[in-house]
Chain A
Amino acid sequence: AQSVAQPEDQVNVAEGNPLTVKCTYSVSGNPYLFWYVQYPNRGLQFLLKYITGDNLVKGSYGFEAEFNKSQTSFHLKKPSALVSDSALYFCAVRAISGNTPLVFGKGTRLSVIA
């Protein structure tokens, strides 16, 4: 079975500081990993994904994520947070083999304070 854990319901960070939103996963075999962002009253928007290759993935709006196979983690990072980054962030996973749908974490609310 596939699962995703986002251990923090809320992350607060000061504008200009680096941010990290944590994600760990469980899947049989190799994973596809995703991050989505949801702004208020909007649908989920794709940020970035890991398929294969370089463990550091760069995505939209200056975000990046690092795939760590030994720790089964895929933490989302940004070197310098903006107030406009405040939103709900979802990590998702699916196994490469098979045709199962994405499994989402429960989401982490990021609040960037000016």
Chain B
Amino acid sequence: DAGVIQSPRHEVTEMGQEVTLRCKPISGHNSLFWYRQTMMRGLELLIYFNNNVPIDDSGMPEDRFSAKMPNASFSTLKIQPSEPRDSAVYFCASTSGGRSTGELFFGEGSRLTVL
């Protein structure tokens, strides 16, 4: 079974550039989550979707961050413009939602470095 697929695995960019991270959840899962992990803050929930609809984006740090889920098999997290403090590992996770226990399945992450 294919797990959660994220791309790119690594991204190095310069301050001010636009960054787009991509995620393909596990087929049949209807909830998708974006997390950010840093040494200082640990694992932070940025936003999550149920049935492609954003439910809670209170963790999105600023207006520079936006996320979309145009269909059940694809989501993007965009940072525009990027700043050095955005450097982190960004994880996507999915779950079947509904009456499930909420167990999350994580992708391998996208490591972002903003110079």
Known contacts being A43-B108, A43-B109, is A101 close to B45, with CB within 8 Å? yes
| Number of A-B pairs, beta carbon distance below 8 Å | 49
Question: A63 near B: Cβ within 8 Å?
Answer: no
Assess the B42–A46 pair: CB atoms within 8 A. no
Known contacts being A32-B101, A99-B50, is A43 close to B45, with CB within 8 Å? no
**CB-based nearest B residue for A90:** B43
Give the chain B neighbours of A94 by CB distance below 8 A: 102
Complex Cα distance A91/B55, Å? 23
Give the chain A neighbours of B15 by CB distance below 8 A: none
Total residues of chain B contacting the partner, CB 8 A: 23
Question: B63 near A: Cβ within 8 Å?
Answer: no
Assess the A49–B108 pair: CB atoms within 8 A. no
Question: B1 near A: Cβ within 8 Å?
Answer: no
Question: How far, in Å, is B18 (CB) from chain A's closest CB?
Answer: 24
**Among listed A10-18, A64-72, A75-83, A102-110, interface-contacting one:** A102-110
Complex Cα distance A45/B93, Å? 11
Assess the B102–A101 pair: CB atoms within 8 A. yes
Question: A34 near B: Cβ within 8 Å?
Answer: yes
Complex Cα distance A113/B108, Å? 26
Complex Cα distance A90/B111, Å? 19
Within 8 Å by CB of A46, from B48, B56, B91, B105, lies: B105
Give the chain B neighbours of A90 by CB distance below 8 A: 43
Give the chain B neighbours of A56 by CB distance below 8 A: none
Within 8 Å by CB of B106, from A41, A44, A106, lies: A44
Q: Which residues of B contact A (CB under 8 A)?
A: 4, 31, 33, 42-43, 45, 48, 50, 56, 91, 93, 97-98, 101-109, 111
